[in-house]
Amino acid sequence: MSVLQFLTTVHFDRGARRVLPQLLQAAGVRRPLYVSDPGVIRAGVFAQALEAMPADDARQVFSDTPVNPTEAAALAGASQYRAAGCDGVVGIGGGAALDLAKAIAVLATHAPPLWDYCNRHANPRPIDRAPPLFLLPTTAGTGSEVGRSAVIVFDNGIKAGVRCPDLVTAAVCDPELTAGLPPAITASTGMDALAHCIETFCSPVVNPPADAIALDGMQRILASLERAVADGRDAQARWDMMMGSLEGAIAFQKGMGAVHALAHPLGAHGFHHGTLNAILLPHVLALNRSALGPKYDAIRRQGGWAEAADPAREIAALNARIGLPVRLRDIGVDAAVLPAVARAALEDNAHRTNPRPMAEADYAALLDAAY
Ligand SMILES: [Fe+2]
């Protein structure tokens, strides 16, 4: 059995955002650097997240978060942190802002380059003196608030993780922060959360507690994603989506599979992670079916689908109903990058825990089918 490590303190409730002032005070943080993105600020969600905080004209905000966070953005944020004399980091946003907040917290007090802390570095340096870090997700997708790493596009062009399981002081999960999320983002981020639950459940690593958590998350997401897309104000659907997203990220320490092994190198070209996962998931499930045995039936049960239903087809149909693109070409992926993506997938950590062994030709065939 693999190690099941779940250390992050989570405040989960409608209105949980109001505990932030107490959490910062308890951690001795007086001058946090807030990490967010322009869309979250424009939508008023950043202000909503901070409504319990005292007014502060000198608030330090880093909002230059790329769609896929980069080492350069992390360095820029860390410079702002030091220049402004900050003493803590608060990430408010989707997975990109939260992962960037983690990387900024690391580089605020640890020497660059960030690659020295990457989980693909042969001998990563320890992260042992980062400032207090609080994360408030505003999407139900990555579960970065409880995930063990920060996924970054490094200066060398590789998209991979900084392993930092002890970095987050506390996560504040408030489903009300997702109520205004547009349908398209609800759909694509939700499919990332679903991919986490399904891929981690399918991973051959033995870890029954993580499987149970993944199954619960899968059931919640499959029951509520379409409702959350149709009516963002459906409070129960938003609660279940945020819980399912958190559960997916707790469970994925079991490792994922070919969806993420391909989505990481494709994402390094600038495409949205959740959208990539949505496109790839039906193809990967169909390919893995023969290796999954009773697990395939368990996925069918979590979806509440008929005995004769095929989960791969059901998920493709769900994608269509919630308005997600069907093919990689639909989002502008250039066919010329596919051979390099198939090669890069072999180096990704998620490659090792796909339920059936994958060769470069298997990845190339998957990409071809999804193109
Ligand atoms: Fe993901």
Q: Give the model confidence (pLDDT) of 232-265 as tens digits.
A: 999 999 999 999 999 999 998 899 999 999 999 9
Ligand 1 centre distance from Cα of residue 192 (Å): 5
pLDDT of residue 1: 65
Is pLDDT at 361 greater than 80 in this prediction? yes
pLDDT at residue 4 in the model: 73
The pTM of the whole model exceeds 0.85: yes
pLDDT class for 50, splitting at 50, 70, 90? Answer: very high
Expressed in angstroms and rounded, the spacing between residue 134 Cα and the centre of ligand 1 is: 20
Could you please state the CATH topology (level 3) that the domain comprising 181-370 is classified under: Dehydroquinate synthase-like, alpha domain (1.20.1090)
Q: Which residues surround ligand 1, an ion (CB under 5 A)?
A: 192
Distance 116 CA to ligand 1 centre (A): 23
Q: What is the whole-number distance in angstroms between the Cα of residue 144 and the centre of ligand 1?
A: 9
Alpha helices in 293-337 (DSSP H): 294-303, 311-321
Residues constituting the chain = 371
Averaged pLDDT score across all residues of the chain = 96
* CATH architecture for residues 10-177: 3-Layer(aba) Sandwich (3.40)
Determine the pLDDT at residue 61: 98
**Same fold for the pair 10-177 and 181-370:** no
Ligand 1 centroid – CA 194 distance (Å): 9
Dump pLDDT digits (tens) for 190-206.
999 999 999 999 999 99
CA 260 to ligand 1 centroid distance, Å? 6
Token pair for 139? 């999407």
The rounded Å distance from CA 86 to ligand 1 centre is: 30
Is 68 a residue whose pLDDT tops 90? no
- Distance from Cα 235 to the centre of ligand 1, integer Å: 24
Q: Is 359 exposed, middle or buried (0-12, 13-18, 19+ CB in 10 A)?
A: exposed
Look at residue 5 and tell me whether its pLDDT is greater than 90: no
Nearest to 283 by CA among 358, 219, 213: 358
Question: Phi, psi at residue 10, to the nearest 5°?
Answer: -125, 125
Token pair of 10 as six digits: 């989570």
Q: Domain-by-domain residue ranges, the chain? A: 10-177, 181-370
In the chain, alpha helices (H): 20-26, 38-42, 45-49, 71-83, 95-109, 183-202, 208-230, 235-251, 258-267, 273-292, 294-303, 311-321, 338-345, 360-370
CA of 46 to the centre of ligand 1 (A): 23
Phi-psi region of 323 (alpha: psi -120 to 50; beta: other; left: phi over 0): left
